Structure 1
Amino acid sequence: MGIDPHTFFLAFCIEQYKKAKNMDGSVVAKLFAERGVDKYLLDNFEVLHTQSHQWLVQEIDDYIKGH
């Protein structure tokens, strides 16, 4: 049994954001939970999972700034 694609995508986004912002993964996970980024990413999985990691980091930044 493999990992759920939604869980994998969320972990991927946390990892990419962590690397791009030079942050600790647990800090990013907390930020995502507090700002609703995790829910946004999962609710929009079908559209977002096809985008590049650079685009996703920018999208996450835009989402955080707007919320």
Structure 2
Amino acid sequence: MSTCSLPNGDEFFLLPEIAEALRCSVKTVRRLIQDGKLKSSKVRGRVVVLKSAFLAYLGTITTST
């Protein structure tokens, strides 16, 4: 995953990068965002997911099984 660091030390990922990490489609990632399961933001018109939000989502799926 290529990342871009923010001043607070967090990083953000683009949707294709999240899809690759989850081994799913970008459409599925968009659905997770729409359902409120994965938090996202818009930066210059592009939807991005903060690393902290991605790790929080991973925590919910690993603890629920």
- More strand by percentage: 2
Normalising by structure 1, report the TM-score.
0.41
- The TM-score, its normalising length taken from structure 2, stands at 0.42
